[in-house]
Amino acid sequence: MARLWPPARRFIERLQAYKVTRGGLIFTAAFALAGLVAMTFTNNLLFLILSAMLATFLVSGFVSRLCLAGLQLDFQLPEHVPAGRWVPGRIFVHNRKWLMPSFSIRVEAIRAPERPELKTGVYFPLVAAGKVVQETIEARFPRRGAYKQNSFAFLTSFPFGFLEKSARVTLSRETLIYPSIDPQPGFEDLLLGISGEIETYYRGLGRDFYRIRPYQAFESARHVDWKASAKLRTLQVREFAREQEQTVEIYLDREISPDFDAWFEHAVDCCAFLSWRLAGEGANIRFRSQGFDFRLPEEGDIYTILKFLAIVYPQAAGGPEAPLYEDSYKLVFTPAPGRFREAGWASARILDPSLVVQSPPVRTVSDQSEKPRST
Is there a single domain that holds both residue 45 and residue 163? yes
The answer to the question of residue 7 being in a domain is no
Report the CATH number at residue 166.
2.60.40.10
pLDDT confidence of residue 283:
85
Is there a single domain that holds both residue 200 and residue 98? no
Is there a single domain that holds both residue 31 and residue 135? yes
pLDDT confidence of residue 359:
46
pLDDT confidence of residue 36:
87
Is there a single domain that holds both residue 96 and residue 132? yes
- The total domain count for the chain is 3
10-residue averages of pLDDT along the chain (375 residues): 54 58 86 86 83 86 88 91 92 92 90 79 92 92 85 88 84 87 85 78 56 74 81 80 66 88 91 91 89 90 94 81 82 89 87 63 47 42
The answer to the question of residue 5 being in a domain is no
Is there a single domain that holds both residue 101 and residue 250? no
pTM over 0.75: no
The answer to the question of residue 2 being in a domain is no
Is there a single domain that holds both residue 201 and residue 343? yes
The answer to the question of residue 163 being in a domain is yes
Q: What is the 3-state secondary structure (H, E, C) of the chain?
A: CCCCHHHHHHHHHHHHCEEECHHHHHHHHHHHHHHHHHHHHCCHHHHHHHHHHHHHHHHHHHHHHHHHCCEEEEEECCCCCECCCCEEEEEEEEECCCCCCEEEEEEEECCCCCCCEECCCEEEEEECCCCEEEEEEEEECCCCEEECCEEEEEEECCCCCCEEEEEEEEECCCEEEECCCCCCCCHHHHHHHHHHHHHHHHHCCCCCEEEEEECCCCCCHHHECHHHHHHHCCCEEEEEHHHHHCEEEEEECCCCCHHHHHHHHHHHHHHHHHHHHHHHCCCEEEEEECCEEEEECCCCCHHHHHHHHHHCCCCCCCCCCCCCCCCCEEEEECCCHHHHHHCCCCCCEEECCCCCCCCCCCCCECCCCCCCCCC
Q: Which residues contact 89 (CB under 8 A, 6 or more apart)?
A: 75, 76, 77, 78, 136, 137, 138, 139
Q: Using alpha carbons, list the distances in angstroms from residue 189 to 193, 248, 252.
A: 6, 18, 20
CA distance 21 to 350: 59
Is there a single domain that holds both residue 41 and residue 168? yes
Q: Domain residues for 261? A: 180-207+246-375
The answer to the question of residue 121 being in a domain is yes
The answer to the question of residue 224 being in a domain is yes
Is there a single domain that holds both residue 51 and residue 168? yes
| Whether 180 contacts 306, CB under 8 Å | no
Is there a single domain that holds both residue 169 and residue 22? yes
The answer to the question of residue 89 being in a domain is yes
Is there a single domain that holds both residue 115 and residue 20? yes
The answer to the question of residue 4 being in a domain is no
Is there a single domain that holds both residue 32 and residue 164? yes
Is there a single domain that holds both residue 359 and residue 285? yes
Helical axes 261-280 vs 302-311, angle rounded to 10°: 170
